[in-house]
Structures are given as C-alpha cells and as structure tokens.
Amino acid sequence: MTQDPPVPETMAEDDVIELLLRQHALIRDLFDQVEQASAEERPEAFTRLVRMLAVHETAEEETVHPYARKKIDGGDGVVDDRLAEENQAKQLLEDLDKNGPDAPDFLERLLLLRAAVTAHARSEERYEFTQLRAQTTAAERRALAAGVKAAEAMAPTHPHPGIESATKNVLVGTPVAMMDRIRDVVHRAMDQHNG
Amino acid sequence: MTFNPLHERGIPLDKQLRNWRELDVAPVDPDHSDPYTRCRIIAMNGIEVEAIMFSHQLARHCPSVELKQQLARVRYIEAQQQKAVNWLLPGLASVLETTIAYEQVAVDLTAWVARMEPDPYLKRAYQFGVLEDFDHLYRYANLYELIEHRKAEKIVDGLTEVMPGRPTYLHHRDPVDNVREPYDKSAAAPISKLHALTIMAAEQQTMNFYMNVGPTYMEPIARRLYQEIGLIEEEHVTHYESLVDPGETWWEMLLNHEYNECYLYHSFMETESDPKVKAIWELHLNMELEHLRLAAELFKKHDGRDPEQVLAPELPAPVTFEPNKAYLRELIATEIDYTTIGTGYVQDAHERFEKMQEAIMGGEPLPSEQVITDNRDKSGQEYRLETEGPHPVPSLRTDR
C-alpha cells in the first residue's frame, strides 16, 4: 500500500524551497523506515537516513540560511535560532551514529533525534521559508537550488548507477566528516552555476 | 454496566480550577499516536467550544446577575477544559495535517452517528452530509501532497479511505435548501438529540478552524481551497443545527449540552488507547457530572420539570471512532447524486440549485477541482488511498 518514497536525485524541482520541503517529507519517511525496519535491515535504513540528514542540513547551511540572513526581516535572529536547532540535532546524530543501530537504547535516542529534526524542519517552514519565498525571485531560488541538488545527488535513497563512486568518497566516516565534504561539493556547484 | 450521569457524583465546582502547571498538558506525538486519539481530541474540542459559546449566548439572554455569575463560573471551567483538550494537539503538526485530521473526524464520527441514529429523517441528514466531508478529505489530501510532498496515509493511517465522495463543486447549494426539518423534542429519542448536538458542534468547529487558518497560507491554491470548503462548512452547520428542535427552552438546551458532554467524555474514556489522554477524559467526565448537576438544578427551578423526563435513563452505547469503509462505500454507491430541495432530497439538479451553481462558479475552474489537476500535473497522479478496491462509482475511478 505504501509507495516508495520519491528518489531525490531524480526530482526535477527547480525551486530551492520546494526542494527542501520535499526533503523534509522524505526525511520523515526515512525515520519511519528505520523505526519499522527489522534488525537486519536497520543498519542500511539508518545509513540512508544519516546521509540524507547530512546532505540536507549542510545544503541548507550553505544555501538558504546565508541568503535568509541577508534577505528577510530579522534574518540574523531567525537563522541563529535555526543553527542552534541544527547543532542540537547534529549532536544527537553523532551520538546515535557512534553507538550504531545495534545499541540497546537506539530506538529511544532515534525518537529524540526525530523530535529535534522535525521541530527544526517545522520552524524553518514557518519562520524562515515563508519569508524567504516572499522576499526572493524565482531566479534567485533557482540559483540556490543548484547547490541543494548537487548535494542531494550524493545521497541516493535507492541504488543509482553513476553516483556510487562519488558517494563512496564523500559520504563516509562520521556525519560531521560527511558534512565537511558535502560543503565543498555545494560550494563548487554554486560557483559553477553563478560563474 | 449502566451509567446514569444524573446519579453520579462529580468533583465540586470550587475544586475544579486548574493552575498553569496543570493546564500545561503534554501533546500527543504526531507520528506515532493513534489517529483516532487525535480524532477524539478534535471532536471533544468542538464540543467544548460549543459549550462555551452556548453559555455565552445564554448569558446574553439572561436578565439575572446571579444566574450570569453561576454561568460564568461553570463557563470558565469549560474554557479551561477546552484548553487542556485542544492543547493535546502537537505544534509539530502542520495546519494541513490537522485539517486532514479534522476531515477524518467528520467522516468517521458522522458515519458512526448515521449508523446508530434511529430516526430515518435524521439518519438521512447524516448520510447525506458525510459524503461531502469524505470528498473534502480527498481534496485536502491532494493539497497536502501538492505543497507538503507527503501522503495523507501517514495521517489517516489506512483507517479511512481517501477518494472522491460527492464532488465538492456540487456542495454549493442555494442556502434555502440547506435548512432541514427539526426533530420533535417530545417524540425524539434522547440519543437523537445527542447526535444532532455532537455533529453540529463538530461541524461548527471545522467551520471556525477553516475560516481562521485559511488566510495564513501563501500558496494561492491553498488559500482558495480553504475558502471554498470553509463556505461549505457553513452550509453544514446550517444543515445540522436545523435538526435541533428550536422549541427547547434555554434551560433544556443547557441540560442537553451538559448531558452530551458527559456522554462523550464517558464514551472517549471507554474507548481511548492512550493512557495519558484517557486520564484527561476521566477527569473531565468527573467535572462534567457536576456541571450536569448544576444544569439539572436550573432546569428544575426554572422549567419546573424533572430532568429524567427529557434525558436518557442511562448513557447510550459509547461513541466510537472506528473504520467505516464498507458503510461509506455503500453510501457512495447509492447516495452520491442526491442534492437537497427545501427540507428534502432529490436526484435531479433543480432550478434553484442550477442557478446557485451558475452564479458562484463564474465560469472558472473552482479550487476543489484545480487542486486535483495541479497535483496530477506535479505528482504524476492524483492522490487516493483506496484500500478496499476500486472506487464504487465507475465514473469516479482514476482509469475512467
């Protein structure tokens, strides 16, 4: 009955906010999948979630947050609040990743992470994206989408030929290590789009 | 076990006030809680809002300061109850997710009432109305996929199907045709009075909710869809409120309101799966027993009658949230092409109906159709959740 989630790297979304909303929905579904997975399937489902979170949060940090800081009324305050939420979620993610999906308190900690990530996403949607959409042109949002797409291409939720090798080099190690490498990818994509 | 709320002792009124800490209830989890727990919260909020607004209306017609003071004391407690109940909803849920839950309430609560209602004319009114809320669920589910990129099955959890009912554009009737005949207060079964009050209150809250949250959207299609369905909810309030006998005195109406609150808190206490929420239903039932006792005193004093004459001798079977899939499919197959005329129903699109349709459409695609087209364009297909096979009406199937 439940259909497969959309595959992000094939999404033809050109608006950065649409793209990020889609990722929010996808992340929630990935949490469901980890929770519902059997013990054997769980590590793989969890890896997909970790990669998607790393990609998503990093892309936001490098694209919409700096833009929102400049563009929206009270942007500094709004973005600082979002970064504080992200840092809290990152800490939970690091802990969860370090102990692995076999840890006895895994599901308990996963719920904490889920609550933090969902609250963060909802706050972005309400306090940041709404204003950002009102204060930007479609062209601006398209430019920002390039960075998000480049990052997203590295976090396949299904096996996807052609990007495995890129993924192998970038999405390894701890979530924080992944994020550092994703950051470079986002920068290169944005430079390319703008230059 | 029989339960007659008139014979039970509740919490004395001067012990009912809660402080801020006690009112600060923990919301339910939006992703893991029982969808029917959320339905009970939404339904009960509608009941409390009606209790508050009814008491305000009564007070505005009440010449005695002393009586107004007593109404004010009980009403303040009802207002606290409303806060404790509605604040069980999680802030994490989006407005649209809550909206979809509102429609799930409208579908499964009205279907249950239609199944249980003994009076054929009243039953027909619920059967007629439920097919419209059913369609609204389908429209909002498509809006949800369109703007939040998520599927409504995550919210309704497969308990309620999502597919076309009576298409929303056909709900725009001449207001004259929304008024029904009332039940006769001296002949109607007590359960019929409770049903009418419950569904009226639920639809009224839905109307209030849409009229207030609709303009908080930026997306033009969302703004327009809330406007369209919000107006239909007004028609539904007209439809259901006209079922209530206007010949009931104010004190009789108050008595019925308080009795209905006891009935619903008791029902929800009996059927609740979440222990924390169940504790609230139980606490509130014990408060309502006292509100009922006070209303019964007023009724005896001002109407000079015995409450047992107008109320049920014991609580009817508990109002239960449960899937109504087969029942709804049967109604869709038989009732979908009806509209109202005067206080009755017809299958033909009559002149007054046609005139209203023409005037309100203005020759443009209306939001409830647009949302399906838009979502089909964007998501590749419209959103449906047909768990029990293809749509019962061939012309409303996706492969038509």
3-state secondary structure of B237: helix
Contact A118 B31 (CB under 8 A): yes
Task: Check if the interface score ipTM surpasses 0.90.
Answer: no
Tell the residue number behind the tokens 């029904």, with chain if given: B180
Could you tell me the pTM of the whole model? 0.91
How many contacts (CB atoms, under 8 Å) link A and B?
38
Per-residue pLDDT at B1: 56
pLDDT number for residue A33: 96
Model confidence at A9, in pLDDT bands (50, 70, 90)? very low
B92 with A2: Cβ contact below 8 A: no
Instruction: Find, in chain B, the residue whose alpha carbon is nearest to that of A125.
Output: B94
Asked if B265 and B281 count as a contact pair (C-beta separation under 8 A), the reply is yes
Predicted local confidence at residue B395, as pLDDT: 94
On chain A, the residues whose CB falls within 8 A of the CB of B147 are 21
Contact B150 A6 (CB under 8 A): no
Nearest of B76, B110, B50, B362 to residue B236 by alpha carbon: B110
Under DSSP, is residue B34 helix (H, G, I), strand (E, B) or coil?
A: coil
Residue given tokens 């439809």 in the structure block? B239
**What pLDDT is recorded for position A193?**
77
Query: Do residue A125 and residue B94 have CB atoms under 8 angstroms apart?
Result: yes
Please report the pLDDT score of residue B38 as a whole number: 98
For residue A167, the one-letter residue type is T
The contact set of B with A (CB < 8 A) is 30-31, 91-92, 94, 147-151, 153-154, 158, 218, 385, 387
Chain-chain contact of A28 with B31 (C-beta, under 8 angstroms): yes
Choose, out of B95, B150, B216, B375, the residue to mutate when testing the contact with A (most A CBs < 10 Å): B150
pLDDT at position A134: 86
Cβ–Cβ below 8 Å for A114 and B31: yes
DSSP state of A105: T
A21 with B153: Cβ contact below 8 A: no
Distance from CA of A7 to the nearest CA of B (A): 12
Cα(A91)–Cα(B118) distance, integer angstroms: 59
Backbone phi and psi for residue B28, each to the nearest 5 degrees, phi listed first: -75, 160
A7 reaches B (C-beta below 8 A): no
Which H or E run contains A130? helix A130-135
Which helix H or strand E contains A23, and what residues bound it? Answer: helix A16-36
Which strand (E) or helix (H) includes residue B339?
A: strand B339-341
Q: Tell me the C-alpha to C-alpha distance, in Å, between residue B3 and each of A24, B21, B312.
A: 48, 32, 10
- A176 interfacial to chain B (CB closer than 8 Å): no
* Closest-CA residue of chain A to B32: A32
Instruction: Judge: B92–A118 Cβ closer than 8 Å, yes or no.
Output: yes
Q: Specify whether the CB–CB gap between B202 and B50 falls below 8 A.
A: no
H or E element that contains B346 = strand B344-346
Residues of B in contact with A1 (CB under 8 A): 153, 158, 385, 387
Quickly list H helices, chain A: 16-36, 42-62, 64-71, 75-99, 106-123, 130-135, 138-152, 164-170, 175-194
Helices (H), chain B: 20-23, 35-60, 65-86, 95-116, 120-148, 153-156, 190-213, 220-241, 250-271, 275-303, 325-335, 351-361, 367-379
DSSP assignments along B265-300, one per residue: HHHHHHH---HHHHHHHHHHHHHHHHHHHHHHHHHH
In this complex, which of B91, B149, B154 lies closest to A21 when CB atoms are compared?
B149
Confidence of residue A171 (pLDDT cuts 50, 70, 90): confident
Number of neighbours of residue B373 by Cβ within 10 angstroms = 13
Q: Using a CB-CB distance cutoff of 8 angstroms, which residues of chain B are in contact with residue A113?
A: none
Quickly state the pLDDT bin for A181 (edges 50, 70, 90).
Answer: confident
- Give the span between the Cα atoms of B357 and B342, in whole angstroms: 16
Name the closest residue on chain B to residue A132, using Cα atoms: B218
Question: Cα(B123)–Cα(B125) distance, rounded to whole angstroms?
Answer: 5
**Which residues of chain A have a CB within 8 Å of the CB of B385?**
1
Tell me which chain A residue has its CA closest to the CA of residue B388: A1
Interface-testing mutation among B148, B149, B156, B384, with chain A (most A C-beta atoms within 10 A): B149
Contacts with A26 from chain B: Cβ below 8 Å:
149
- Selecting from B31, B91, B148 the residue whose C-beta is nearest the C-beta of A21 gives B148
> With an 8 Å Cβ cutoff, are A21 and B94 in contact?
no
> Nearest to residue B367, comparing CAs of B148, B217, B160?
B217
Distance from CA of A119 to the nearest CA of B (A): 6
Contacts of A116 (CB under 8 A, 6+ apart): A85, A88, A89, A92
The separation between CA B347 and the C-alpha centre of its own chain, rounded to angstroms, equals: 26
Q: What number of CA atoms fall less than 13 Å from residue B311's CA on the CB side? A: 31
Inter-chain CB proximity A118 and B218 less than 8 Å? no
Q: B31 and A32 in contact by Cβ < 8 A?
A: yes
Nearest to B176 by CA among B335, B352, B345: B352
Low-confidence ranges of chain B (pLDDT < 70): 1, 400
> What mean pLDDT is predicted for residues A22-41?
95
- Smallest CA–CA distance, residue A85 to chain B, in Å, is 14
Residues of chain A neighbouring B92 (CB-CB closer than 8 A):
115, 118-119, 122
Residue identified by tokens 């992340």 is A27
Torsion sign (Cα): B194, B333, B203, B339: negative
With an 8 Å Cβ cutoff, are B387 and A1 in contact?
Answer: yes
User: Cβ–Cβ of B150/A25 closer than 8 Å?
Assistant: yes
Cβ of A2 under 8 Å from any chain B Cβ?
Answer: yes
- pLDDT value for B345: 97
- Per-residue pLDDT for A14 more than 50? yes
**Residue B366 in contact with residue B372, Cβ under 8 Å?**
no
Above 70 in pLDDT, residue A7? Answer: no
Q: What CA–CA distance (Å, rounded) separates A181 from A170?
A: 6
Q: Is A21 on the interface with B (CB under 8 A)?
A: yes
A28 touches chain B (CB under 8 A): yes
Q: What is the 3-state secondary structure of B352-382?
A: HHHHHHHHHHCCCCCHHHHHHHHHHHHHCCC
